[in-house]
Amino acid sequence: MHVTMREVALRAGVSPRTVSNVVNDFALVAPETRARVRQAIEELGYRPNPIAKSLRSGRSGFIMLALPELSISYFAELSSLVIAEARRCSYTVIIEQTDGDPERERQLIERDARNPFVDGLLFSPLALNADQLRASSAEVPIVLLGEHGAVGIHDHVGIDNVGAARAAVEHLIELGRLRIAAIGHQDAASNETSQFRSQGYREALEAAGRRVEPDLLASAPSYHRDDGASAMARLLDLADPPDAVFCYNDLLAIGAMRTLAERGRSVPEDVAVIGFDDSEEGRYRSPSLSTIAPDKRAIAAAAMARLVGRMNGDDSPPASQAVPFRLEARESTLSVARTASF
């Protein structure tokens, strides 16, 4: 159906081998041979068939980015950066959504990670824990995104979740808040991110000599806006409601703020709110949302660099790379006056 390399070779009066050499900028092809081949390519409108190339070379030029959901803004923003970074490295990105479904996540490391169509896998697991991740029989390199306990088996790139959560809660403590709640806890031993953030929350409170009150640790089935809204509603219904809340992501925080607005509580006066992720959305709310800002660009860059290294044969032991984060204190925890320069 297509013009083939053979036809180009025929027209240029050379062998396919030489055409291949020219197309791939290989070896020392005699300048005039190269010119002849180039012209034949031009005239025939030849385009190499990447599938045939993949079959022979064993590399497709595709990487898979697997994440819970693209409609969660953190993942959308991260994907955008990963795709741009991959492009820079001459890779094309296949996106897979797991919806945090354990079955789909298992398929990823068992099936997709052995699919010759993908040269590497960037995976942000939600449901699988360290042991399950460890069991992977992957044939392609995998770099995990986010923090996980799967140390020593796969590479991973992420921020220090415990430390970041601690920083968020310390910020609320420094502001003089007395009853600090958290939204986003999940019991399932599987979601390690939630575990780490809860741990940071506890550590910060304990370091300040505070009691951790189970009532104030609100769980959320998933990390969408409506989960935050209903969790906040439950917290407000407590006999002694919180005056500050640390949400495990920005969407939860935004849902919480919506509930606060509906109930006529003002932020930050009545309740200070801090999120996690530094989504664009939070930056533009009124009041703007204080948050933990992972360096997403650095995550995308480091993850791609690691993956590219692996795909090129680097077989050093799996490593964890911690990427920096910042605390972005904005209007939802500070008084409006203090950030008037926004």
| Binder of residue 94, out of its own copies, DNA, none (CB less than 5 to 8 A by kind) | its own copies
Closer residue to DNA, CB minimum distance, 37 or 205: 37
- Calculate ∠ Cα 325-331-332, nearest 5°: 80
Closer residue to DNA, CB minimum distance, 15 or 266: 15
Q: What is the CA radius of gyration of the chain?
A: 25
Closer residue to DNA, CB minimum distance, 46 or 246: 46
Phi and psi at 227, nearest 5°, equal -65, -40
| Binder of residue 199, out of DNA, its own copies, none (CB less than 5 to 8 A by kind) | none
| Binder of residue 254, out of its own copies, DNA, none (CB less than 5 to 8 A by kind) | its own copies
- Please give the Cα distance from 106 to 87 (Å, whole number): 27
| Binder of residue 92, out of its own copies, DNA, none (CB less than 5 to 8 A by kind) | its own copies
* Nearest distance, CB of residue 29 and DNA, angstroms: 4
Answer whether 311's CB lies under 8 Å from 126's CB.
Answer: no
Question: CA of 158: how far to CAs of 138, 301, 323, in Å?
Answer: 21, 11, 6
Question: CA of 55: how far to CAs of 9, 39, 51, 59, 307, in Å?
Answer: 21, 27, 6, 8, 21
* Nearest distance, CB of residue 46 and DNA, angstroms: 7
* Nearest distance, CB of residue 50 and its own copies, angstroms: 5
DSSP-derived secondary structure letter, 214:
G
Answer whether 227's CB lies under 8 Å from 252's CB.
Answer: yes
| Binder of residue 62, out of DNA, its own copies, none (CB less than 5 to 8 A by kind) | its own copies
**Number of C-alpha atoms within 13 angstroms, CB side, residue 194?**
23
| Binder of residue 30, out of its own copies, DNA, none (CB less than 5 to 8 A by kind) | DNA
Q: Which residues bind its own copies (CB under 8 A)?
A: 1-2, 47, 49-52, 54-55, 58, 60, 62, 69-71, 73, 76-77, 79-80, 83-84, 92-97, 111, 114-117, 225, 229, 254-255, 257-258, 261-262, 280-281, 283-286, 342
* Nearest distance, CB of residue 177 and its own copies, angstroms: 22
* Nearest distance, CB of residue 207 and its own copies, angstroms: 33
- Please give the Cα distance from 308 to 60 (Å, whole number): 13
* Nearest distance, CB of residue 10 and DNA, angstroms: 10
Closer residue to its own copies, CB minimum distance, 193 or 288: 288
* Nearest distance, CB of residue 340 and its own copies, angstroms: 8
Sorted by sequence, the CB contacts under 8 Å of residue 43 that are 6+ apart come out as 11
| Binder of residue 69, out of DNA, its own copies, none (CB less than 5 to 8 A by kind) | its own copies
Query: How distant is the alpha carbon of residue 114 from its chain centre?
Result: 22
Nearest to 194 by CA among 237, 156, 147, 142: 147
Q: Which residues bind DNA (CB under 7 A)?
A: 1-2, 4-6, 13-18, 20-21, 23-24, 27-30, 33-34, 46-49, 52-53, 55-57
Residue 89 class from Cβ within 10 Å (0-12 exposed, 13-18 middle, 19+ buried)? middle
